[in-house]
Amino acid sequence: MSRLERRRSRLLVAVLLLVAWSGGLALLVRREFFQGRAERLAEAAMRLSPGSAFYTVEQNGVRIGFASTTIDTVANGIEVTDYFVADLPLAGTVHRASARSVVLLSRALALRTFDVQAEAAQTPMRVVGRVEGDSVVIFAMDVPGQAADTQRVAVRGPVLVPTLAPLAVALGEVPKRGKTYRVPTFDPQQMQSRDVALTVMAESLFVVDDSARFDAAARTWKSALTDTVRAWHVVGEEGAGFDTWVDAQGRVVQARQAAGITLRRMAYELAFENWRIARDAAAASGGAPDRDIFESTAISAGVSLSAQALPRLRVRLTGVSLDGYDLAGGRQSLRGDTLLVERATLPSKSYSLTTRAPEFLARFRAELAAEPLLQSNDIAIVQKAIAITGLERDARRVAEKLNRWVHDSLAKEVTFSVPNALQVLRARRGDCNEHTQLYVALARAVGIPARIATGLAYVRGKFYYHAWPEVWLDEWVPVDPTFGQFPADAAHLRFVVGGLGQQAELLRLIGNLEIQMVNGRR
């Protein structure tokens, strides 16, 4: 593969993982489940009005799709149906992405069952699940050509789907500007509970288009009647990824999401029909949108460095608070707003996997454990890890063998699926998320502590959102099976350590973070 081809491949696989959290692409099982107090949920449910709300989906001011939410009362509870469809430009190609979820809630808004169907880049996926006794969420992921993967996640008490989180603020009492509401949450990916702070930042009036009329001359729909709606700006604490305007009925008026995507409520004809008309017109003219999720979320460094592996990189980070990020430690050092990243050095020989002390196992219990969608204890994962590593017991050489196998065995493809180690092993394709998920599972299966790092990767003058593993080789060492680097070079800027729950903290970087190259290699 030529250097230019490697650069292009590297650009394609440096996927913004947060795209999968935008709109309906955020599959129910990979979102945080809001765990609310039963009394408050029951009180909110009494004031919940059935009906539908329609939204136009825009990316950086350009209409790209349509979304809707319908709430209906049924014999055994409350049914919530969410629909999302959009044309997402990614790596030079427009991908039609769609998702539909049907969620059944109890009369007190507690989750009972869910059925989510999504398709992006011609890859369909279905997730179905149920709650048993308010203590366990059981869900199964089904991807064509792969065996269904069932997961069980423990919860404490009734859980509420996140799309109804505004109810906890809007229907509980009249929202007060400056007040912070703490909502108990549960993240099924991380199997951790935490409180999320939702703060009412502002109160304002919105003019919402309630109905529309067709303009025959312009061959498009125009606003006919409007309604003035009072709404409150509710923002989650840093890392919560919640930024929306909600009205007194708990319905979203406007919401900002990752990758510059915004949802705005309006009449059905304005939201859907006008998008369809514009889409068909663009297709007929053969025009392609001059935008790309890669490029719209990339951060320019203002200078282009050599494509060779960087041993050292020094950058200045401005425009966003750096508090709460895993920027310092190991090969990274932070002084003020200046970050120095150095390529890790590898020991010639590391510890033996046959002589690990009990203290070692206790220290790295979390980094050796199986997790939902990271099934390091599954027999297929264990057998493959043993087959790859053979009789080698030196941790450094084992880690390198796994890195080389994952890099060579997985096709480099942009995907929209939830990263699932077992399914990645079966499908043998994916972007940086799939490479990382599988590598971490394989490493843990043979007894090497491993964790997921996410942040930015420097590619041809710009920084792109990227994920890679870190393994313990007498210190935490970054490796990159996507790019085939062992260890990963200094072009990897780690911001977050952990799974999807922690990775939501990257949301506040988009559109805010500015990077200035202080110097390159030396």
Q: Give the per-residue pLDDT at 36.
A: 40
What is the structure's pLDDT at 12? 33
**Residue 297 burial class via C-beta count within 10 angstroms: exposed 0-12, middle 13-18, buried 19 and up:** buried
Domains of the chain: 3-11+297-519 (3.10.620.30), 17-285 (no CATH)
**What value does the mean pLDDT take over residues 138-143?**
74
The answer to whether residues 298 and 305 touch, using CB atoms and an 8 Å cutoff, is: no
Kindly report the average pLDDT of the chain as a whole number.
77
DSSP E strands in 11-61: the ranges are: 33-34, 51-59
- Run of H or E including 71: strand 62-74
* Distance from C-alpha of 258 to C-alpha of 361, rounded to nearest angstrom: 38
> CA-CA distance, 387 to 310, in Å (whole number)?
32
Helices 432-445/379-389 angle, 10° precision: 80
User: CA 148 to CA 141: how far, in whole Å?
Assistant: 6
Share of the chain above pLDDT 90, in %: 29
Strands (E), 388-449: 411-412, 429-430
Per-residue pLDDT reduced to its tens digit, 179-205 = 887 765 544 334 444 566 778 899 999
Cα angle 210, 50, 220; round to 5: 25
DSSP E strands, 237-307:
243-247, 252-256, 261-265, 299-300
Of residues 293 and 314, more confidently modeled: 314
pLDDT of residue 44: 61
What's the distance, CA 462 to chain centroid? 21
Q: Residue 332 pLDDT > 50, yes or no?
A: yes
Are 114 and 161 within 8 A, CB to CB?
A: yes
User: 364 near 472, Cβ under 8 Å?
Assistant: yes
Where is average pLDDT lowest: 74-88, 242-256, 485-499, 502-516? 502-516
Region 294-322: what's the mean pLDDT?
70
User: In the chain, what's the furthest Cα-to-Cα distance?
Assistant: 79
Number of residues in the chain: 522
Q: What is the pLDDT of residues 226-254, one digit of tens each?
A: 999 999 998 876 545 578 898 887 788 99
Rounded to 5 degrees, φ, ψ at 29 are -75, -15
Which of the two residues, 198 and 149, has the higher pLDDT score? 198
DSSP code of residue 189:
T
User: What was the pLDDT predicted at 235?
Assistant: 83
What is the predicted pLDDT for the residue at 16? 31
122 pLDDT more than 50: yes
Look at residue 517 in the predicted model and tell me its pLDDT: 84
Would you place residue 469 in the very low, low, confident or very high pLDDT band (cuts 50, 70, 90)?
very high
**Does 150 have pLDDT greater than 60?**
yes
- Rounded to whole angstroms, the Cα distance separating 260 from 283 reads 23
Provide the phi-psi class of 300: left if phi over 0, else alpha when psi is between -120 and 50, else beta. beta
Assign 129 a pLDDT band (cuts: 50, 70, 90).
Answer: confident
pLDDT at 352: 92
393: amino acid identity, one letter = R
Output the DSSP codes for 477-521.
Answer: EE-BTTTTBSS--TTEEEEEESSHHHHGGGGGGTTT-EEEEEE--
Residue whose C-alpha is closest to residue 67's, from 34, 100, 38: 100
Check residue 460 and give its pLDDT. 73
Where does residue 348 fall: left (phi above 0), alpha (psi -120 to 50 degrees), or beta otherwise? alpha
Tell me the C-alpha distance between 338 and 33, whole Å.
36
pLDDT of residue 288: 52
Span of 108-112, 210-214, 295-299, 475-479 with lowest mean pLDDT: 295-299
Nearest to 329 by CA among 477, 483, 517, 514: 477
> What mean pLDDT do residues 466-481 have?
94
- Mind listing the pLDDT tens digit for each residue in 265-281? 999 999 999 988 887 77
Highest mean pLDDT out of 62-71, 118-127, 371-380, 469-478: 469-478
Q: Which residues pair with 154 in a beta bridge?
A: 136
Distances (CA, A) of 231 to 55, 58, 251, 252, 464: 16, 20, 9, 9, 35
The answer to whether the beta carbons of residues 16 and 295 sit under 8 Å apart is: no
Band of the pLDDT at 25, cuts 50, 70, 90?
Answer: very low
pLDDT at 379: 94
- Among 156-165, 282-291, 375-384, the least confident range: 156-165
Segment 67-104, tens digit of pLDDT: 888 888 888 888 888 888 888 765 556 667 788 888 88
Per-residue confidence (pLDDT) for residue 127, from 0 to 100: 78
